[in-house]
Amino acid sequence: MLSQDSKTRIIKESIIGEIISITGDLFAGMIMLFFIMPFESFSYLIIMIPALLTLRGNVSGTFIARTTRDLFTGELSKTLKPIKRWLENIGATLFISLLVGVFIGIVSQIVSFLLGNEIINLFIFLSIPLFTILFDLIISIPLSSFLNISCFRFGLDPNNLVNPIMTCVDDFLTVFGFFLSLILLGVP
């Protein structure tokens, strides 16, 4: 059974993380609307945004959970050794993210068509989520690993802090990566 101090600590750590997450998500949503609204293809693009945001939260959350588990069990030291375990976690995260990114692109194209939009270039529709996801992962994986290890070193429970913080960070990265992919791919 958890002591009262442990329960209080869990609540404090969780509330701080959730406040950061919710506040950041509100700002990410406002920024997304500001960036994406001017595009002619807004009606196509808006379909894939919820799926991309959910994907990043789910995949990032499982990456963080596996890394935290490995830190607590000692399979991964505070200095990321043995590195093989961490690299396997990164590989699984990358594979799942890209596979689901392709699925998001295909389903978004189908839903867009069913809603009466013209079919646009499938390559572009597939490239948008893939580029967005890769952009996010390049920053998210090292940052979440650093936060996990830092929390663990300072005696904080990464389960209570890292996931909500990274949800906020990932949402900003997803919005920025989405916008960047639209610019680079020349989406109207």
Please name each of the domains of the chain with its CATH number. Answer: 4-34+56-185 (1.10.357)
pLDDT of residue 80: 59
Structural contact between residues 26 and 167, judged by C-beta atoms closer than 8 angstroms: no
CA distance 90 to 67: 10
pTM score, whole prediction? 0.83
| pLDDT tens per residue across span 20-77 | 878 887 888 888 888 887 888 887 788 888 888 888 777 788 888 888 888 888 877 7
pLDDT of residue 4: 64
The overall longest dimension of the chain from CA atoms, in Å, is 60
pLDDT (mean) for 144-153: 90
Closest by Cα among 62, 31, 32, 30 to 49: 32
More confident residue, 149 or 41: 149
More confident residue, 58 or 106: 106
Q: 52-90: buried (b, 16+ CB within 10 Å) or exposed (e) per residue? A: bbebbbebbbebbbbbbebbeeeebeeebeeeebbeebb
pLDDT of residue 124: 85
